[in-house]
Amino acid sequence: MSDGRLDIVFVSEDKQLEMEQMARRVESDLLKVGLAVNWQGNSARGNLPRSPGVRIFYDPTVGAPAGVYVKWRLTTSLLEAAMTAGPESRLVHTAGTWLDVMTGTLERLLTAAGWEVDSVNVGVHESSIRIMRAPSNPFDIINDH
């Protein structure tokens, strides 16, 4: 796909379907432990959920890198208040700490469920957790949400 300014290359349709299926498995596992999950789906389509909690999406863009991601989203009111308070405020420090704690908790929950993950601290998916490989999942035996 080209917008006249840059060429954006996506992984194959089969690979995108595989990423969506993996993202849905991640979503299912996080729902099973009671987390509020916000499905974003294909990040190239936008659809950015505004609700706080876990955001699950996949990026089909080659070089982004393409993959499945999990991210914690703070409340809009907290984000707006922190931006108003300024970068040196206690509120910004507190919000950053909460984000770090929740991201670390998500990473530990996913690892405990058998997912291979990697924290992404730079680039387009800053403060996200990248799903590297699906597990033989111990939660697969639970069928309800």
**Predicted pLDDT of residue 63:** 78
Domain locations in the chain as residue ranges = 35-138
Question: How sure is the predictor about 3, in pLDDT bands with cuts at 50, 70 and 90?
Answer: very low
**Predicted pLDDT of residue 24:** 96
Question: How sure is the predictor about 42, in pLDDT bands with cuts at 50, 70 and 90?
Answer: very high
DSSP the chain: -B-SS-B--B--HHHHHHHHHHHHHHHHHHHHTT--EEEEEEGGG-----SSEEEEEEE-BTTS--EEEEEEE--HHHHHHHHHH-TTSHHHHHHHHHHHHHHHHHHHHHHHTT-EEEEE-SGGGTTEEEEEE----GGGG----
At residue 120, φ and ψ (nearest 5 deg) are -110, 110
**Predicted pLDDT of residue 94:** 94
- Note the pLDDT tens digit of each residue in 83-104: 999 999 999 999 999 999 999 9
Average pLDDT over the chain, rounded to an integer: 87
- Predicted TM-score (pTM) of the model is 0.84
- Note the pLDDT tens digit of each residue in 45-82: 987 888 999 999 999 998 778 899 999 999 999 999 99
Has residue 7 got a pLDDT over 70?
yes
CA geometry: angle at 116 spanning 15 and 66, to 5°? 30
